[in-house]
Structure 1
Amino acid sequence: MTNFSKRALLLCGSLLAFAASAQAAEIAMAANSTGKNLNFIRERLAEFEKQSGHKVKLVTMPPSSSEQFSQYRLWLAAGNTDVDVYQTDIVWAPQLADQFVDLTAAAKDVIGQHFPSVVASQTVDGKLVAMPMYTDAPAMFYRKDLLDKYGKQPPKTWKEMAETAKEIQDKERAAGQKDMWGFVFQGSAYEGLTCNALEWVASAGGGHIVETNGDITINNEKAAAALDMAKSWIGTISPQGALAYKEEEARGVWQTGNSVFMRNWPYAYALGNGADSAIKGKFSVAPLPAGADGEAPASTLGGWNVAVSKYSKSQDAAIELVKFLTSAETQKKRAVELSNMPTIAALYDDKDVAAAQPFMPQWKPIFETAVPRPSAATKVKYNEVSSKFWGAVHNTLSGSGTAAENLELLEVELTDLKGSGW
């Protein structure tokens, strides 16, 4: 080989290396640590890095959505350039829309695959704020073996749930299961309590805190009765510690075999049937109970999405990652491995998904009764509305004031908040 040929090859190699380095980017993604979410994302990021040549740093967020939102808001308000991609809760779109890149053009070839209602929840003033990654609605998890043992059916009302829970709890304790409880849920003062309490109130005919037209309706007798009902569970069928439970604490009690019923999200299904679970093969799920005969059940609509910061210095690479994490291939893996519900309708007919998660068709009626939190009505004030609501509920559950007193005060606070515009 002549010296000229060697120089030409070296130059060619240098140009190729320069081109690759110019295209490759280093980006960071913030994601929550609920269940096995971080492990799953780490595996997907490794795949993405191999395919794209980009490097991705994972920024670990707490499992509490409220803590996560507070940190996001601080970062974005400061124009933080260290995080390019954010995993976002379904209710955050109206509040953070101005801080995120409009993905409408980038997603035009794939967005039609997703449920229109989920896409609508992430669209603000015609701007696609985030791409749907998975959707969510909670269910009533129940110990099928214990209900069968005592000749019980999955409860249709919350009253029936409490009665069944108390009876089985007491009989199991008498038989030696001293740590058995009837029902575990998310009672800590955070966004999860807003979801739980909205279900109690809405299923009792007590409205949706703030209605779609902006009317504040939470201060009513049916809502107060629903919260009084939940207060009666603490210390009887639910441990006092439930006042500090988030999703994972409730799952911990349930998965060790120490609860008859649990209210939780779909992710808990796959974990409950894991090899290390004390209740593997012993439980099933049903729609959440109604508040009373004649009322409809209500499950809070949830779900997580992925958004690109407008402060990102590598927006093209960040958008590539968003499309990868929300693709049919990745959503299928998430459904199979984590029992998260896809936002792509076709995956519900996928034979591999059906084989791995045969319970998923049971979630269809749960989604049909799902109710949104009032984020669309309250827009940028939603987090404050939710915080005041969960505070009033937590006070009621912990015995600090009656439900009627706390809801009357809540109405005053929300009226003041609305007065400054939402």
Structure 2
Amino acid sequence: MTLRQTLLATAVLSFASFGSAAAVELNISCGTVGKGQELCKEAVAEWEAKTGHTVNVISVPTSTTDQLALYQQILGSGSDDIDVFEVDVIWPGILGSHLLDLSPYTNGAEEDHFDAIIENNTYQGKLVAMPSYTDAGLLYYRKDLLEKYDLPEPTTWQELADTAKTIQDAEREAGNEKMWGFVYQAKAYEGLTCDALEWIDSFNGGSIVNAEGDITVNNPNAVEALDLAATWIGTIAPEGVLNYQEEDSRGVFQSGNAVFMRNWPYAWALSQSEDSPVKGKVGVMALPKGGEDGKQTGALGGWQLAVSKYTKNPEEAADLVMWLTRKDEQKRRAIEGSYNPTIVSLYDDPEILEAAPFIGQLQDTFSNAVARPSRATGANYNKVSNAFYNTVHEILSGKTDAEAGLADLERDLKRIKRRGW
């Protein structure tokens, strides 16, 4: 019997104790990439069987930028259209005033999670979201192709570009004209903020705005990082990457048409599925350094579950959140979907490490990931990110160079900040 079947059987047996409770209907948004929605629906079904309540899983846009705009519209109007939201790691400070304090419903479960994530999810002293999974940007690569051409794993971005070009050209000559060296997320949306922040931080160029709220993005290291990234377009990355989100990148890589891919941990389980053309041919490592004096870094990601304070059923909605973020469910998601747990003890679980070895091997990457400046910029973060990814997109598109683009960006950020964030 699988872990999920065991949990479901236990849930069904326990339903008798809830038999006299009045059933409610909830709406939840969850899982927009990879196996996320499938796993969410399975866990929701278990909770329905356990409680007798009904849950509708609502489809929302895959773009995190579009999701946030939708959630701000729903919550800003005081609507109860969605009871439980899946929220990005950067959103508690943006949406916190509209979210329920979950502290009365946790029974201390938050103590099992990474302290930094719990702190991130605390808004004005209230725990407004429970962690579901954490992640950081990673580099996926075709280990079979590196072996074929006797090339090492790249340690710097320049080495990645050189290796990508060598293998790309050789594979095209061998007959795969669709082969590209590197795919990633370069559409003008939140995903590009993550990718570009990784490039800049790897060159020791900071994180756009520092922890004290100072605007730091206009510096020589950031210029060097973005000028280098601009050279990839049309050489090792297709022009179309300028419109790629996560699943677009994964589609190219998993079809066997890219040497390297930047993506989140969820892509591992899908690359190893039975119908994947690259099953058994993929390696995962930390993203490259900016240079010999640079550092390996990945943007901090991850998702949480939060309850709208406008819900008509706060107790049931909070109970659903606790069910979906508990230890057994995080273990199942790690094994079946390669979603990184936020519960510390699971990083020593042998079943998880067998299913997704990189979770243990790259724990430092997840622990030391570079955070987007959402805490420093507060409610203005969305404006900051929007200005940043649009500037980077113009640099990648060749409409401006990094020096001019970052100088303009600094002026824009100063206007957004005015006298304070």
Q: Quick check: TM above 0.5?
A: yes
Q: How far apart in 2 are the matches of 1:178 and 1:171? A: 10
Which residue matches 2:409? 410
Question: Match of 2:214, SS?
Answer: coil
Task: Give the superposition deviation at 1:339.
Answer: 0.4
Which residue matches 1:213? 212
Task: Give the superposition deviation at 1:155.
Answer: 0.7
Question: Match of 1:61, SS?
Answer: coil
Q: How far apart in 2 are the matches of 1:21 and 1:123? A: 35
Question: Match of 1:223, SS?
Answer: helix
Q: How does 1:372-387 map to 2 (within 5 A)?
A: 372-387=371-386
Q: How far apart in 1 are the matches of 2:209 and 2:86? A: 26
Which residue matches 1:249? 248
Task: Give the superposition deviation at 1:221.
Answer: 1.5
Task: Give the superposition deviation at 1:189.
Answer: 0.4
Q: How far apart in 2 are the matches of 1:354 and 1:401? A: 45
Which amino acid counterpart does residue 176 of structure 1 have in structure 2? G
Task: Give the superposition deviation at 1:25.
Answer: 1.2
Q: How far apart in 2 are the matches of 1:387 and 1:108? A: 38
Q: How does 1:94-113 map to 2 (within 5 A)?
A: 94-113=93-112
Q: How far apart in 1 are the matches of 2:26 and 2:367? A: 38
Which residue matches 2:32? 33
Question: Match of 1:91, SS?
Answer: coil
Change (3 A) 1:310 1:69: same
Which residue matches 1:268? 267
Q: How far apart in 1 are the matches of 2:364 and 2:154? A: 15
Asked whether the 8 Å contact 2:31–2:38 carries over to 1, the reply is: no
Which residue matches 1:203? 202
Task: Give the superposition deviation at 1:153.
Answer: 1.2
Which residue matches 1:11? none
Question: Match of 1:46, SS?
Answer: helix
Which residue matches 1:366? 365
Task: Give the superposition deviation at 1:363.
Answer: 2.1
For each residue in 1:181-227, what CA deviation from the matched residue of structure 2 results, as whole angstroms up to 9, or x when unmatched? 00000000000000000000111111110000000011112111111
Which residue matches 2:8? none
Asked whether the 8 Å contact 2:31–2:40 carries over to 1, the reply is: no
1:134 matches 2:120: no
For each residue in 1:320-377, what CA deviation from the matched residue of structure 2 results, as whole angstroms up to 9, or x when unmatched? 0000000001111100110000001111222222232223212213224311000010
Asked whether the 8 Å contact 1:32–1:62 carries over to 2, the reply is: no
Asked whether the 8 Å contact 1:65–1:191 carries over to 2, the reply is: yes
Q: How does 1:245-394 map to 2 (within 5 A)?
A: 245-394=244-393
Asked whether the 8 Å contact 1:287–1:365 carries over to 2, the reply is: no
Which amino acid counterpart does residue 265 of structure 2 have in structure 1? P
1:227 matches 2:226: yes
Asked whether the 8 Å contact 1:184–1:253 carries over to 2, the reply is: yes
Which residue matches 2:175? 176
Task: Give the superposition deviation at 1:297.
Answer: 1.4
Question: Match of 1:88, SS?
Answer: strand
Asked whether the 8 Å contact 1:101–1:309 carries over to 2, the reply is: yes
Which residue matches 1:162? 161
Identity of aligned residues (%): 48
Change (3 A) 1:399 1:286: same
Which residue matches 1:3? none
Q: How far apart in 2 are the matches of 1:116 and 1:23? A: 36
Which amino acid counterpart does residue 85 of structure 2 have in structure 1? Y
Q: How far apart in 1 are the matches of 2:45 and 2:226? A: 46
Asked whether the 8 Å contact 1:189–1:394 carries over to 2, the reply is: yes
Q: How far apart in 2 are the matches of 1:358 and 1:156? A: 20
**Structure 2 residue ranges without an equivalent (≥5):** 1-15
RMSD across aligned C-alpha pairs, in angstroms? 1.3
Which residue matches 1:48? 47
How high is the TM-score relative to the length of structure 2? 0.94
Q: How far apart in 1 are the matches of 2:181 and 2:260? A: 6
Task: Give the superposition deviation at 1:108.
Answer: 3.8
Which amino acid counterpart does residue 240 of structure 1 have in structure 2? E
Larger Rg computed on CA atoms: 1
Question: Match of 1:373, SS?
Answer: coil
Question: Match of 1:342, SS?
Answer: coil
Task: Give the superposition deviation at 1:21.
Answer: 6.6
Task: Give the superposition deviation at 1:166.
Answer: 0.5
Q: How far apart in 1 are the matches of 2:31 and 2:357? A: 26
Task: Give the superposition deviation at 1:20.
Answer: 5.0
Question: Match of 2:323, SS?
Answer: helix
Q: How far apart in 2 are the matches of 1:22 and 1:311? A: 22
Which amino acid counterpart does residue 344 of structure 2 have in structure 1? A
Q: How far apart in 2 are the matches of 1:60 and 1:174? A: 43
Q: How far apart in 2 are the matches of 1:136 and 1:213? A: 25
Question: Match of 1:303, SS?
Answer: strand
Q: How far apart in 1 are the matches of 2:51 and 2:220? A: 57
Question: Match of 2:104, SS?
Answer: coil
Task: Give the superposition deviation at 1:420.
Answer: 5.5
Q: How far apart in 2 are the matches of 1:356 and 1:199? A: 27
Which amino acid counterpart does residue 390 of structure 1 have in structure 2? Y
Task: Give the superposition deviation at 1:40.
Answer: 1.1
For each residue in 1:2-31, what CA deviation from the matched residue of structure 2 results, as whole angstroms up to 9, or x when unmatched? xxxxxxxxxxxxxxx9x9575321111012
